[in-house]
Structure 1
């Protein structure tokens, strides 16, 4: 959703990628400018999004304030009021625009922004996991899917607009019901059902989800839910160090569930052009996905297994947040309109 007045496309822009844990900010001098002054701020260090923006701008030696702003945020955008799902920030878009003095403010879901960046990502930012060798998303004439575990589970995608461009999808696919494909998964999900009522994909395939899986495995083995769940970083470290069998099983379940959900997304969208895996967790796990059950689960769709075998999957390993690029692309399309 945007609030706007007319402004030239060459003016200074504020770009942001706001998640449940961190907010990344950057500046861009017009639509053709390089994305610079990138800085990450912990959300918990600032009472409001406006306070975080003010803090960021106060640290930049730029001599002017941005006239345009595009903010990708880990939340659905429905009307003027935004209440973050995975953080306590709540604000009015119109009031934020007025307080910051922006001529134009654009708010979009963070995974919609990431989707807008997909055709522009260089090969060096991607690592392919199965499918057609050497496939290129930029050359696709069919849909592209996007799913990514971070603090939560983001889902989006692109569909061709019929004119050589793309339409991004805005949705909340991370909250679809998570299915089990074997008895062990069903037992784990039953414990999560008892605890949460509804078990969405995000309950298992996210940073929080890794902790939930560890908790469910602990309860399965001991009868007791842990007093405190470990963080995603702790579960990952324990699993990769080989020092905790439950952590290794939790990570194995995480990859298997991710493969199931990603395969479902590919079939639902007809994303034969490929599926991108974003979010902050997977790049930290390196090549572990290659030896996991991810690809087998991705393809394990009965009569449609052969349809999924050639579909490429890419892990996004960009050093710079691609959602910042997507936020800029959003402004590009609107200021040209």
Structure 2
């Protein structure tokens, strides 16, 4: 029996699973730091689920970073790989290597209604682009298109590294503080786990607060407990998330809806709903009416990146077998 393997590889964790054409199974999480190269992790995964490398025929790896050419350098860990050498080493017939947020985007093609929490009501136009944005370790941005033949296409990009948009005097003060410290200030500088802490530190400098928190989770926990300073930071975080998401909607024409993924938003979902996110999302001057019917959801699906890697792999296998 031949095997198909899928993986969603981040900086700290690499999620591996088998793919049966419809869904992932035998999901295991391995630490990239425990292995010298991706092929070593694949072998370890197969051994742990009682499968042999000889049976492996096709693989899809979803990885952070721009994907092009034969060589790939992982963004958030020390791994690197040659596509051709990886295939030769494992005896593969098919390797699909995609950006991790392209996989997140493809995963939205299988998301169920019960795996979505409404943040902003609206009516999605199914034939129009869908925006996926996810603050977590970094800030991922992807686009999903439904093609006329029913297949799905993800448009990979590095939208998390766009300039942080500034629209108020307070934001300009916060931006100036971060610029003095880091130089270029991208959206990811704020809209990520480490970015939450950077934003708090900027607030401390601008507002004259004595720093108390040293970890992003401490900030969100304190905000949930009603701490005023932490609430101010989380509020600004949500506003910037809304503004960046809205900018991407205008650029992409994403009337198919917006999906928020990543590890941060689920922790603060009630604060997100009460925040200025929705106002900032649609506050685009003469183009504000453009947003009237565009919905926003928070994705609660457990493994959207793995599912998306599976969808991408299955589409490739279907193309080869036609």
With over 3 angstroms needed to count, the CA separation of the structure-2 counterparts of 1:38 and 1:265, relative to structure 1, is: same
Superposed displacement of residue 111, structure 1? 0.9
Of 24, 32, 36 in structure 1, the residue corresponding to residue 15 of structure 2 is: 24
Correspondence 1:34-183 to 2 at 5 A? 34-62=23-51, 65-132=55-122, 135=123, 140-183=126-169
Q: What secondary structure sits across from 1:24 in the alignment?
A: strand
Superposed displacement of residue 223, structure 1? 9.0
Superposed displacement of residue 94, structure 1? 2.3
- 1:45-84 CA-to-partner distances (Å, cap 9, x unmatched) read 4443333323322211235642211011111112122222
Structure 2 residue 20 is matched with structure 1 residue 14: no
With over 3 angstroms needed to count, the CA separation of the structure-2 counterparts of 1:280 and 1:43, relative to structure 1, is: farther
Superposed displacement of residue 162, structure 1? 3.3
Q: What secondary structure sits across from 2:108 in the alignment?
A: helix
Of 287, 301, 305 in structure 2, the residue corresponding to residue 323 of structure 1 is: 305
Superposed displacement of residue 99, structure 1? 2.8
Q: 1: distance between equivalents of 2:8 and 2:314?
A: 17
Superposed displacement of residue 159, structure 1? 2.9
With over 3 angstroms needed to count, the CA separation of the structure-2 counterparts of 1:142 and 1:84, relative to structure 1, is: same
Is residue 56–residue 90 contact of structure 2 (8 Å, CA) maintained in 1? Answer: no
Superposed displacement of residue 98, structure 1? 2.7
Q: What secondary structure sits across from 2:222 in the alignment?
A: helix
Superposed displacement of residue 222, structure 1? 4.4
Q: 1: distance between equivalents of 2:32 and 2:89?
A: 19
Provide the residue aligned with 2:258 in structure 1: 275
- 1:88-129 CA-to-partner distances (Å, cap 9, x unmatched) read 222222222333332222110011111112122110111111
Provide the residue aligned with 1:6 in structure 2: none
Q: 2: distance between equivalents of 1:229 and 1:49?
A: 36
Q: 2: distance between equivalents of 1:191 and 1:318?
A: 37
Is residue 192–residue 199 contact of structure 1 (8 Å, CA) maintained in 2? Answer: yes
Provide the residue aligned with 2:188 in structure 1: 202
Q: What secondary structure sits across from 1:120 in the alignment?
A: coil
Q: 2: distance between equivalents of 1:44 and 1:280?
A: 21
Is residue 155–residue 173 contact of structure 1 (8 Å, CA) maintained in 2? Answer: yes
Provide the residue aligned with 1:250 in structure 2: 233
Is residue 218–residue 246 contact of structure 1 (8 Å, CA) maintained in 2? Answer: no
Structure 2: 5+ residue stretches without partners? none
Structure 1: 5+ residue stretches without partners? 1-9
Is residue 113–residue 326 contact of structure 1 (8 Å, CA) maintained in 2? Answer: yes
Q: 2: distance between equivalents of 1:58 and 1:247?
A: 45
> Larger deviation: 228-237 or 182-191?
228-237
Q: Size of the alignment, in residue pairs?
A: 318
Q: 2: distance between equivalents of 1:144 and 1:234?
A: 33
Q: 1: distance between equivalents of 2:118 and 2:58?
A: 35
Superposed displacement of residue 258, structure 1? 0.3
- 1:252-308 CA-to-partner distances (Å, cap 9, x unmatched) read 111110000000111111111211111122122232211111111101111121221
Superposed displacement of residue 194, structure 1? 1.2
Structure 2 residue 285 is matched with structure 1 residue 306: no
Is residue 109–residue 152 contact of structure 2 (8 Å, CA) maintained in 1? Answer: no
Superposed displacement of residue 165, structure 1? 3.6
Provide the residue aligned with 1:290 in structure 2: 273
**Cα RMSD, aligned residues only:** 2.2
